[in-house]
A and B are shown apart, each in its own frame.
Chain A
Amino acid sequence: MKTLSLLITSAYIASLSCHAALAHNLKQKEKKHNKTVSKTVPQINIFEAHKDKQNYVIALYTNATGAALVAYDSPTCQANSYGETRIEKTQPLEIVFTSAEDTHCKITFKLKDSKLFVTNETPSCSTWHGDFCSFSSLSPLSRLYPP
């Protein structure tokens, strides 16, 4: 009789500890699931600048090489381009965009305090945006997304 009650008690304790372990595992799983996307996974940032009817938008990675989109829209100019951005290891705050349609067209940006400054643009870029677009007339681009 004594052994039987001992057996029941030990079975009960075992089931309790098993339940606790299961709950712990579930909690861990839930935690993992709820975690937002890790900072190491590169994400697209959206930067924009506008002045009156001139709008400039760019979608790019700020911490990795990858695809990018550029749009410039004003009453005299409708210029869009797509291509790739590169970040040199020696200058991590400098992002160089190369147009897919004309690899000689390169725009250099400098990232500083969530703002993107256009520091250089090669003459080849004027073949897709014409002479009527003046990027320099716009203020630096502010990060719109992620907020």
Chain B
Amino acid sequence: MKNILAFFLIASFTITPSTSKNLSYANELAQLPINLVMYEHKANDEYQSVIYLPYYPAYGMVTYKSSTCNAELKGYIDPFALKNNILSITSGKCSLTFKQENQSLIPYKETNDCQSYHSSTCNFLKMNNLKRITFNLNH
């Protein structure tokens, strides 16, 4: 009996937050002015961007251009991970992961195979935190 009670107690704690998270994610998607999400970082002679299409079939691309780096990755994204604020872009065996926090995108993980997408002097994890771009449709 105690075990059953404990199960319900744990289940109520784990299920409730994820359901509300999924609902808020669905609302956020519905409010997008265009079917595209963009994050960017610009500095002197440096350009970094992450762009993705949130709806299935979902694709994304990453650009990292600086004095030491000229790297690009494009591929599939995991639309289910997005519900947990994880953006994962995969091309072949290279998988690059970012964390979405408020209006920022933070580089998080890259698999070893991503090395073939950039020179040895750079790494996608060296990217800055990127800022979300808001689009306004005026026409």
Contacts and interface: CB of A to CB of B under 8 A. Distances in A.
Contacts, number: 91
Nearest to B43: A37
Contacts of B52: 69
A40 B44 CA distance: 11
Contacts of A59: 36, 38, 51, 61
Contacts of B125: none
A46 B65 contact: no
Interface string B26-67: 000000001110100011111101011101111111010100
A67 B45 contact: no
B44 A37 contact: yes
B139 interface: yes
A35 B46 CA distance: 11
Contact of A69 (B43, B44, B61, B73): B61
B47 A37 contact: yes
Residue in B35, B42, B43 with the greatest tally of chain A CB atoms within 10 Å:
B35
A91 to B, nearest CB: 23
Interface string A20-38: 0000000000001101111
A108 interface: no
Main secondary structure of the interface of A (DSSP, over half): strand
A57 to B, nearest CB: 5
A144 B137 contact: yes
B135 interface: yes
A39 to B, nearest CB: 10
A125 to B, nearest CB: 14
Chain B: interface size category? 20 to 34
Nearest to B77: A82
B42 A44 contact: no
A63 interface: no
A69 B59 CA distance: 7
Contact of B38 (A55, A84, A145): A145
Interface stretch (A7-15, A73-81, A130-138): A73-81
A83 B49 CA distance: 16
A59 B40 CA distance: 13
Contacts of A38: 44-45
B60 A69 contact: yes
Contacts of B75: 82
A36 B41 CA distance: 11
Nearest to B76: A82
Contact of B46 (A41, A50, A80): A41
B42 A80 contact: no
